[in-house]
Chains A and B, each alone.
Chain A
Amino acid sequence: DVKVTQSSRYLVKRTGEKVFLECVQDMDHENMFWYRQDPGLGLRLIYFSYDVKMKEKGDIPEGYSVSREKKERFSLILESASTNQTSMYLCASRTPGQANQPQHFGDGTRLSIL
């Protein structure tokens, strides 16, 4: 089974802090994704990466950056946390090279910015 592990289930930070969310997958997937999920808005794509050192902006990249130094690890960075970034953050990965394969998700990090 695919295993996508997010480092924290719950995180509380203060405004202005630099926040790192970590995601690791164990299936050698080339493609990895970061989403945020908010009530009434559904899942929205922040950034994605098709391979190591590669990154692409999703639909809502403002205020975020990412790092993909190793194939199995994809990090989401909040450069200067703000209260409107309080949300559930979900990481996903996908079988390489096949666009019509499903994405597999981690259990999420619920982030609160005070």
Chain B
Amino acid sequence: EDQVTQSPEALRLQEGESSSLNCSYTVSGLRGLFWYRQDPGKGPEFLFTLYSAGEEKEKERLKATLTKKESFLHITAPKPEDSATYLCAYYGGSQGNLIFGKGTKLSVKP
């Protein structure tokens, strides 16, 4: 069964303290690995798509990387406004629909 596992479930950082979020997957023949940001009470906001191992994408303090079995979301010198839940997903399963991880809830304290 295709699965997406995100770790840690929750992460508390001080402002400026860099860290990484992990997303591991089991599907073979990956057709895109997606990262989303979700603020409380809102829908997921698309951040990045990664298609092949070795690929990297950056946006402000965020950098997403992809290997054959996992993806990392690196957060450099985070600010309180980076606090959110970060979701990863890929297309898989019997119907080829998006399979989501349960997310990592990031809190950045000033």
Interface residues on B, range: 20 to 34
Interface check B41, CB cutoff 8 A: yes
Q: Is the CB of B41 within 8 A of A99?
A: no
Per the bound structure, the CA–CA distance linking A45 and B98 in Å amounts to 9
Q: When A99-B91, A99-B96, A100-B32 are in contact, do A105 and B102 touch as well, CB less than 8 Å?
A: no
| A contact patch SS | strand
Chain A, residues 18-51, CB within 8 Å of chain B (1/0): the string is 0000000000000001000000111101001000
A33-B97, A103-B98, A107-B41 given. 15 additional CB < 8 A pairs?
Answer: A42-B87, A42-B102, A43-B87, A48-B97, A56-B95, A92-B43, A100-B51, A102-B32, A102-B46, A102-B49, A104-B46, A105-B36, A105-B44, A105-B46, A110-B41
Q: Which residues of B contact A (CB under 8 A)?
A: 31-32, 34, 36, 41-46, 49, 51, 87, 91, 95-98, 100-103
- What's the minimum C-beta distance from A8 to chain B, rounded to whole angstroms? 13
Interface SS, B side: loop
CA distance A48 to B46 in the complex (A): 19
Chain A, Cβ-Cβ closest to B51 = A100
- In the assembled complex, the Cα of A58 lies from the Cα of B44 at a distance in Å of 19
Size of interface on A: residues with Cβ below 8 Å to B = 23
Give every chain B residue within 8 A of A48 (Cβ-Cβ). 97
Q: How far is the CA of A112 from the CA of B42 in the complex (A)?
A: 16
Complex CA gap A6/B95 in Å reads 25
User: Nearest-CB distance from A90 to chain B (Å)?
Assistant: 5
Q: Known contacts being A42-B102, A56-B95, is A100 close to B31, with CB within 8 Å?
A: yes
- Evaluate whether A40 and B43 lie within 8 angstroms (CB atoms) in the complex, with A99-B96, A100-B31, A102-B49 already known: no
